[in-house]
Structure 1
Amino acid sequence: MLNLGELSRRNTGLSPYVWVVFYILPFYFIFRSTSPYTIAIGITLITVFFICYVLSFVSKGWLVYFWTSVQVAISVAMSLIYGYVYFSLFLAFFIGHLKNRVAFITLYTIHLISTLVTINYGFVTQNQMMITQLPFVFLSLIAVVLLPVSTYNKNKEDRLQGQLDDANKRISELVKLEERQRIARDLHDTLGQKLSLIGLKIDLASKLISRNPRQAKAELKDVRQTARVALQEVREMVTQMRGSKLEDELYRIEQILKAADIAFALEGDPKLTNTSLIAENVISMCLKEAVTNVVKHSEAKHCRIELIPSRTELVVQVQDDGVGIPPGVNHFRGNGLRGMRERLEFVNGSLEIVSGQGQGHGTLIKMKVPYVSVKPKEGEGE
């Protein structure tokens, strides 16, 4: 549990010993009076003020205005009767702790006007107590002007800093979640391609083992090599999460399509100049997933990849002549295509899927990624 000192600092920002001094000081001004009646009134005013001060901290809504108004009236009375203007400091400090902007402006204005009027009236009427305390009265007036504003801004800054810290924690958690999902997609894409190639090689070896044992042995050797490559890629991905170059990925794509007995055609220059490294990595991973789907699901005989550069973006198309996606099937139901779309959206790209309806019409996958910001040439059209 919090002790009294910690609770006081949390709620008011001041040590309880400072408050003890503030509580005792007004009695000094009161007991300077020789009239018991005046002393009794002063003690009553001080007691009511501090009760209202506590209530104003714990109250909400219109009660805050009510208790503060009572304190303003007592502060004015103490200033005029006893020359004690320092209750205005209590009020200035409290008003600065208000969170509601309208309440702060309203009470700050009321308190500032009442303090100015009271001090001016004391000097006009030649109040000796105020005149003898002129430097301290002047400092109190400055505090009434500046303390609420500085306290309000400091508390607002602390609240915003707290919200910023909470937002940063939330962002950190979201980044971790996104990284986990990205790693899961990378593992899915990388292992999916290699395992598909291994499956095709094993099927081919099983067919050749009786007719051509030497060729079957070569295929099994390729299976072993592919498994080693897959293991190495997974290790590199987990330890370094390095990017994938488009040229390297196209070479691997050509291999897997050749193993699947699918004719491969490439149109366009795989050496990208205006595309960022992260966008190139995204395109490479998406191409890997698209070709894996062609091998596993399309029953295609031909696959063509086109790299079409424009002034503002790179368009990559993957076209096969397979069975296509049946009508009514959600294209993004599986993890593969959904992962492609999420990757492309991460780099402000887009994914479009056009499927034929019948054997030989195949599927067209169109991916777009914007270039790194490049100024268009003067006079160049859209």
Structure 2
Amino acid sequence: MQNWYQIIPRNTGLSIYVWIIFCVLPFFFIFRSSSILEILFGILMILIFFLSYRLSFISNSRFVYLWVSIEMVISLVMTYQYGYIYFALFLAFFIGNIKHLGGFLSLYIVNLTTTLAAITMTFMTRMDAMFPHLPFIIITVIGIILLPFTIRYRNKQQKLEGELEDANERISQLMVIEERERIARDLHDTLGQKLSMIGLKSDLAGKLVPVKPEKAMKEIQDIRQTARTALKEVREMVSNMRGTNLEDELVRVRQILEAAEMSFECEGDPNIENAPLLIENVLSMCLKEAVTNVVKHSEAANCKVSISQTPTEITVTVEDDGKGIPDGMEPMQSYGLKGMRERLEFVNGSLDIQSEHGTKLTLHVPNVIQNTKEEGNA
């Protein structure tokens, strides 16, 4: 349903300017009348129609049919008295927004029947005045027949698309949670026992140093070996994680943007040297989500992806020339951006958004190459 102040119908396939003409056109039909009384009566009917039309969108179900009945009566009066039949299109649009099937069919049949009857009677009494408008009358009748079903189908489609998008976002959130829990379990199983052993042996070595230094040194060697074993198992666990590298993901990104008829430009080397697979997997997932948002929401013609790597940071930037983020909208309230931020926070990364001429999204992830090399050499 529309808000109370939205008189002009949306998403009907007709331009907003056509509906504005339909709002102004009745005054032209009225002012053709020779009587001042008829002109005043017509203006009153127009005001009452649009007042009822606005009230029909904000009233509860008990009063909706009352306002629609008033609109139908006014539409019939305007058709018979002034030859203006286009109020029936407004009625057809509103009827298409009625969710209850019984109410929809009842009002549809009544509106179509009464409009056809009014047009027939007007033709019989004022053939000369109505005949020049015959093509527009035929188009209007076709609109009255098809528009309610079109609006009803489109509303259902939008509802299903919204539910599907919510479901996909929920699935994405659950996948992130499941992946976190799996990683936590693997880390606990891999490191828990060995860290406990290191703690116990450290305490034992501390007690043996004053009395049995040789045995304390042996315990320290065991601690060192246990730490190396734990480090090796963690690396094996990370390397066995299922993921996608940036180079493969960019191929899919190019295909998605080409299918959406957007031009694609890539700067930088997607082959990040020696980066842990977990970090590259997170960046790939965030890149996929960012490009999906560009295709779905930006209405852009061009999309550019930039990848850079420094000794301290890996940066991926997704930039488009679309409409940007609407005013008043909090970007991080979107489930997609929330999921991206949560994934990046898991690897100590961050997310920046700029929206001026289009949208620019920047992913920052710390570069842990040096630390990894040092640990490997230890």
TM-score range, shorter chain: 0.5 to 0.7
Give the letter aligned to residue 183 of structure 2. I
Change (3 A) 1:191 1:7: farther
Aligned to 1:341: none
The alignment's C-alpha RMSD in Å is 4.0
**TM-aligned CA deviation for residue 97 of structure 1:** 3.0
Aligned to 1:50: 50
Asked which structure has the greater CA Rg, the reply is: 1
Give the letter aligned to residue 68 of structure 1. V
**TM-aligned CA deviation for residue 190 of structure 1:** 0.8
Q: Distance in 1 between matches of 2:5 and 2:91?
A: 21
Q: Distance in 2 between matches of 1:14 and 1:132?
A: 23
The answer to whether residue 119 in structure 2 is matched with residue 134 in structure 1 is: no
**8 Å CA contact retained: 1:82, 1:129:** no
Q: Distance in 2 between matches of 1:139 and 1:112?
A: 13
Aligned to 1:156: 156
Gaps of at least 5 residues in structure 1 are 244-382
Q: Distance in 2 between matches of 1:102 and 1:188?
A: 59
Q: Distance in 2 between matches of 1:24 and 1:173?
A: 50
Aligned to 1:24: 24
Aligned to 2:86: 86
**8 Å CA contact retained: 1:83, 1:127:** no
Give the letter aligned to residue 151 of structure 1. I
**8 Å CA contact retained: 1:5, 1:15:** no
Aligned to 1:167: 167
Give the letter aligned to residue 80 of structure 1. Y
Give the letter aligned to residue 144 of structure 1. I
Q: Distance in 2 between matches of 1:70 and 1:220?
A: 92
**TM-aligned CA deviation for residue 174 of structure 1:** 2.1
Gaps of at least 5 residues in structure 2 are 244-378
- Deviations 1:133-153 (CA, angstroms, capped at 9, x unpaired): 111110000111111221222
**How does 1:43-122 map onto structure 2 within 5 Å?**
43-122=43-122
The answer to whether residue 192 in structure 2 is matched with residue 181 in structure 1 is: no
Query: TM-score, length-normalised on structure 1?
Result: 0.52
Query: TM-score, length-normalised on structure 2?
Result: 0.52
**TM-aligned CA deviation for residue 205 of structure 1:** 9.1
Q: Distance in 1 between matches of 2:208 and 2:219?
A: 9
Q: Distance in 1 between matches of 2:206 and 2:36?
A: 115
Give the letter aligned to residue 231 of structure 1. L
**8 Å CA contact retained: 2:12, 2:151:** no
**How does 1:333-348 map onto structure 2 within 5 Å?**
none
- Deviations 1:19-40 (CA, angstroms, capped at 9, x unpaired): 5422321121122222333333
**8 Å CA contact retained: 2:9, 2:19:** no
Q: Secondary structure at the match of 1:21?
A: helix
User: Identity of paired residues, percent?
Assistant: 53
Q: Distance in 1 between matches of 2:146 and 2:75?
A: 18
- Deviations 1:318-350 (CA, angstroms, capped at 9, x unpaired): xxxxxxxxxxxxxxxxxxxxxxxxxxxxxxxxx
